[in-house]
Structure 1
Amino acid sequence: MSGPAPIHVVVVGSGLAGYGVLRELRKLAPDATLTLVTADDGHFYSKPALSTALAKGKHADTLVTTPAAKMAAQLRLDLRAGRGVEALDAGERVLLTTGGPIPYDKLVLAMGADPVKVTIEGEGATRARPVNNLDDYRAFRENLPNGARVLVMGGGLVGSEFANDLSGAGYKAVVVDMLSHPLAQLVPQQVGDAIRDALAAQGVEWHLGRKVVSLDRADAATIATLDDGTRIEADAVLSAVGLRPHIWLARDAGLETARGIKVDATGRTSDPHIYAIGDCAEYPRGLAAYVTPIMAAARAIAPSALGTPTEIRFPPLSVQVKTTAYPVVLLPAPIGVKGGWRKVSDGSDGLKYLFEDETGRTRGYVLTGSLCEERMDMDRSLSAAEAEREAA
C-alpha cells in the first residue's frame, strides 16, 4: 500500500526570493514536488548587479550566474519558463497560466515589484524605459551608443546608482528628481548633498526639485521638457521613479493586500495555503525589500509551507548604496515611524547620522565614507537592543 503523495509546492517568480525559498524547500523536503513558474527564462542572476554592470563592462549574458537548466537540475524542479500567470483560483488551489492550469498543495508568491508608470506628455513618452530585470538591461545596453547622454528620471536609490554606473562607464548622466536631494526618502539633506556633489564631480548633471512634463522625439534623440521650461536632449531615457509591489494576482484572488500582499510572521497570506516573499510581500513590520530580508524570510517560509510554522527573524536590514563615487551604508527608518535625524559625526572620514523616534530610540542610521566600516557594529548593537526590548 503506497503512502501519501509528496507535497507539491508551486513558486511564482525566479528572482532571489523565488529561488531562495526553493533552495530551502529542497533542503528540508528531498521528495517534495517543486514547480517554478516564471514569465522569463528562469536564469539566476543578481538583480542588484543591474545598476553596477555598465562600469564593469558587463553584458546581460555575463550577469547570469547559473543558467536555468542548471538551476532546475540542481534543485530538481519542474521549471515552467516563459509562462505568464493569468489568475489564481485559491478555492480550488489552481494557478492559471498561459501554459495551462497548475494545481498546488502550497503556493509561494515571489513576484517582486513592478516599475511605477508615470504619465508624461509627448510622442516620445514611450522611450522612458525601466531597467528592472535582465531583459530590460539587455535592451537598454544594446541600444546605448558609446558616450551616450542618458536622462535618468528619479534620484532615489536606483536612479542614483545608475547615475554612478553610467558616469563611471563614460556616459553622460542627467538626473531629474522632484525632491531636493538624492535619496531624499532615505537620507538627511547633508548626506544627499554630498552624494550629489560627488557624482557631479564625476560628470553627473542634476536637476533637483524639478520634474519631466513631456518627452518628444527628435529623430533618434529625445527632448525632455521640465516643469521650469528647461529642455534636455538625451540619447536614452531611463525611468527610475520607483517600484510598486506586485499584488494584482493576490488581490484578484481575494487575498488581503495593502501596499503589498499581507502576510503574518511566518510569511503566510490570508489564505492558509499561500505564502508571499520578497518585494511583493508586506510583513507585519511593513515592506522589506533588499537581499537580507529575502534570505531571512526564505529560511522561515520553507518549513512553514511544509507544515512547521516558523517565525521570520529579520536581522537589521541595512543597505549598501552602490554609489562608488561616495560610499554610503544605511538602515532605512521604518515607514510611518515619527522621529528625526541626529548628526553624530561630520569629519574628513565621513558623516554619521542616527534616526531616532519620539522616544529617543535609534531606528535607523546613515554612514558615509570610511565610517561605512562601522556597519557591522551598528547592526549588532541595534539587533541586541531589539532582542532586549522584545524580552522585556
Structure 2
Amino acid sequence: MDKHIVIIGSGFAAYQLVKSLRKLNTETPVTVITADSGDDYSKPELSHVFSRRQNASDLIKQSAEDFASTHNIELLAYTRVQSIDTEAKTVQLSDKTVSYSELVLATGASSFVPPFDGNATDEIVTLNSLGEYASHQDKIATAKSVIILGAGLIGTEIAMDLAEAGKQVTICDRASSLMPTLLPSFMGAEVFQTMTEKGVDVKLSATVTGVNRHHQQLLVQIDDKNIVEADVVIAAMGLKPSTVLAEQANITVNRGIVIDEFLKTSADSVYALGDCAELGGKIRAFLQPTMLSAMALAKTLSGNPTPVKLPASLVKAKTPWFPLNLSGQTARSDVSWEITRDNDGYIAKAFEKGTEKLVGFVVSHEQQKAAFPLLRQLPAE
C-alpha cells in the first residue's frame, strides 16, 4: 500500500512525533486518532493551574483544527480505536477501517487509583489530562479543603500549588518520605519541613483504606483509625501505561508496550512512543526522553532507521517552595552522598561506592545552575 502513517493518541509524544515528521517530510499522509479533543497543550502546566487561576482553555496552545492544518495531517478527534489488525495493517474504528503502512501507539498512561473501600471512590479526582482538569476545575476552584493521595513528584507539585491558591491541603502516602522514587531521604525531609511550615498537613507512612461521602464532606480513612475530611480528593498515585489495544493485538507487553532501540514493537510496522512504551525494562515518563525518541522515530519512519540514544535526563520539579533539578540514580540507598549546602541551596552528588563514579545529583534553589555541568558527567541511560 501507499505510505500512510497512523498515530493513536494526541498527547505530548504523539504531537512531538508529528512535528518531527513534518520537519523531514511535509507530504507523507499522517492520520492522528484520539479519544479526546486533540487540542495541543502543555501537560506539565497542569501542576500550576490552581495558583494561576487558570481554566482548561487557558492551557491550549493550539486548537486541534489549527494543529491539523498547520502540520497537514488528518485528525480524528473524539474517536476511539476498537481494535488493531497487525496482519492486515488496519485500525478498526466504530464507523470505518483505516489502513496504515506504519502504526505508532502513543496511547499514554492513565492515573492509577487503587480499589479503595467506601461509597465515594467514584468521586476521586485525577488530573492526568486537559480533559480531566476541565471536568473537575469548577469543583476544585470552589473547594476549601483538598486531600491529595500520593506524595510523589506530581502529588507534591499539586499540593504546593493548591496551598498557594489558598486551599487547606493534606497530602498522604504510605511511603516514609516525600518523592521517594526521586529524592534521597535527607532531601525529602527538607521538602517535608518546608511544606509543613507552609501549612500543608503531610501524612507519611499512612495507608488510605477508604473514601466515603457524608453529607457535603468526603471522609478519607487512614490506617483504619484516622479520618480526614475534605471537599475534594485528588489521586496522584502514579500512572499505568495504556496497553489494552496492544494486548488485544497480541503485541508484547510487560509493564508497558515493549519496544527495541528503534521503538519497534513485536509486531511488524508497529511502533510505540511516550508513557505507554517500555524500553530496556524502563518506562520514561519525562519530556526529554520522549522528545529524543520522537526525533529518532521520525527519521526511522522517513526511511532512515535511527536508534534512540538517551543521555541522562534532567528532571525539573515544579516545587516553588523548594525548587529542584535532579538526574540519575538519586533514590538508591547504596550510594555515597557528597553534600554542599549554603544560603544558595543544595548541591548533592551521589557516587557509586567502590568506584566513586557519579551516578546522580540533586540541586536546589539558586544552585540549580550547577545542574547542566553535572548532567554532562552522568552516563547515558
So what's the TM-score if we normalise by structure 1? Answer: 0.92
Q: Does 1:191 align with 2:187?
A: yes
Equivalent residue number for residue 326 of structure 1: 322
Q: Report SS of the residue matched to 1:143.
A: helix
Q: 1:18 to 1:222 in 2, by over 3 A?
A: same
Deviation track 1:139-184 (CA, whole Å, cap 9, x = no partner) reads 2221125461000000001100000110011111100100111101
Alignment counterpart, residue 173 of structure 1, candidates 159, 169, 175: 169
Q: 118, 125, 132: which is aligned to 1:122?
A: 118
Q: Deviations over 1:335-378 (max 9, x none)?
A: 9x884251321333222333334543322221122221211111
Q: 1:80-159 to 2 correspondence within 5 Å? A: 80-146=76-142, 148-159=144-155
After superposition, the C-alpha distances for 1:207-232 in whole angstroms (9 at most, x for unaligned) are 11001111111122101111051111
1:63 alignment counterpart: 59
Q: Is the 8 A contact 2:358 2:377 kept in 1?
A: no
Task: After TM superposition, give the deviation of residue 60 of structure 1 in Å.
Answer: 0.3
Query: What's 2:359 paired with?
Result: 363
* Alpha-carbon distance in 2 for matches of 1:311, 1:267: 8
Structure 1 residues 95, 151: CA separation in 2 closer, same or farther (over 3 Å shift)? same
Please provide the CA RMSD for this pair: 1.9
Distance in 2 (alpha carbons) for counterparts of 1:287 and 1:198: 30
The residue aligned with 1:351 is: 346
Q: CA deviation at 1:252?
A: 2.0
Aligned to 2:337: 342
Structure 1 residue aligned with 2:9 = 13
1:257 & 1:277 partners in 2: Cα distance?
A: 13
2 CA distance for matches of 1:348 and 1:378? 20
CA distance in 2, matches of 1:296, 1:23: 12
- TM-score, normalized by length of structure 2? 0.95
Equivalence for 1:390? none
Name which of 306, 312, 315 aligns with 1:316: 312
Q: 1:249 to 1:317 in 2, by over 3 A?
A: same
Which stretch has the larger CA shift, 254-263 or 233-242? 254-263
- Secondary structure of residue in 2 paired with 1:139: helix
The 8 Å contact of residues 11 and 18 in structure 1, kept in 2 or not, is answered as yes
The residue number in structure 2 matching 1:44 is: 40
User: Percent of counterpart pairs with the same letter?
Assistant: 29
- Which whole-Å CA distance do the structure 2 matches of 1:145 and 1:116 have between them? 23
Superposed, which structure 2 residues align to 1:170-319 within 5 Å? 170-227=166-223, 229-284=225-280, 286-319=282-315
Distance 1:339 1:250, change over 3 A: farther
| Inter-CA distance 338–221: structure 2 relative to 1 (3 Å threshold) | closer
In structure 2, C-alpha distance between the alignment counterparts of 1:196 and 1:129, rounded to whole Å: 24
- The AA in structure 1 aligned to 2:306 is T
SS for the counterpart of 1:203 is: coil
Compare 121-130 and 7-16 and name the one that shifted more.
121-130
**Partner of 2:110: helix, strand, or coil?**
strand
Q: Is 1:147–1:172's contact at 8 Å kept on the other side of the alignment?
A: no
Q: 1:40 to 1:99 in 2, by over 3 A?
A: farther
Q: Does 1:162 align with 2:127?
A: no
Q: Which runs of 5+ in 2 are unaligned?
A: none
For residues 300 and 349 of structure 2, what CA distance do their matches in structure 1 show?
35
Q: Structure 1, residues 44-78: CA drift from partner, whole Å, max 9, x if none?
A: 00111101111111110011011110000011111
* 1:7-39 alpha-carbon deviations (Å, 9 max, x no partner): 100011111100110111122222211000000
User: Which ranges in structure 1 are unaligned for 5 or more consecutive residues?
Assistant: 388-392
2-structure distance, mates of 1:177, 1:284:
29
Counterpart contact for 1:146–1:171, Cα < 8 Å: no
Counterpart-to-counterpart distance in 2, 1:354 and 1:285:
25
Q: Which stretch shows the higher mean deviation, 280-289 or 59-68?
A: 280-289
* Rounded Cα–Cα distance in structure 1 between residues aligned with 2:141 and 2:242: 33
Contact 1:255 1:271 in 2 (8 A): yes
Query: Using the alignment, how far apart are the partners of 1:362 and 1:266 within structure 2?
Result: 28
